Amino acid sequence: LLHLRDAAAKPPRFRAAARRLGSLLAIEATRDLATSVVSVETPLGPAEGRQPPAPIVAVPVLRAGLGLLEGVVDAIPYVTVGMVGLERQEDSLTATRYYRKLPDLDGALVLVLEPMLATGGSASTAVNEVAEAPSVTVLSVVATEEAVARLTSVRPDVRVVTAAVDPDLDANGYIVPGLGDFGDRLYGTGHGSGLG
């Protein structure tokens, strides 16, 4: 988290830290997941193990959520991936969907990957996009209490797993101290990308 917050972090360092944190958040989000006993055949005989009884689906919110996806896949290699593209309207701070491609969510645990939960608007929209899933957890890097409250008002059973909860938003709806625009810093675009 400290590497992600560091304004001097260039995109390669930022991406590496985001990937590592994505793995840690995925592990934390699935730590208490129920499992069932399964049997496989080894070269020398049967062996029992445990696996989740339901599919796990990662749904990054484009484009910033892609920064966590590789880490989630590292931690949960059998995860299925869907995508939700949202664009934030700067004047109203609301999110508009421009893309949605999801696998079957019947019985699935969905991990919505949304690194920055400022007002909770984009994450709330993403949670609504996967409403048919029986279990939804939002993975974030930095959140505000306001965003978490908004998410739970949209879906009371939603879980939020985050690395930090910051106290404030600025006039533009950015988290303070936060870490800047996650997508810009991840891909080296815009102000605060670490390239200038």
The tens-digit pLDDT sequence of the chain (196 residues) is: 999 999 999 999 999 999 999 999 999 999 988 888 989 999 999 999 988 888 999 999 998 999 999 999 999 999 999 999 988 776 666 778 889 999 999 999 999 999 999 989 899 999 999 999 999 999 999 999 999 999 999 999 999 999 999 998 988 888 999 999 999 999 988 754 433 3
182 vs 193: CA distance, rounded Å: 8
Report the predicted TM-score, pTM, of the whole model to 2 decimal places: 0.89
Residue 131 identity: A
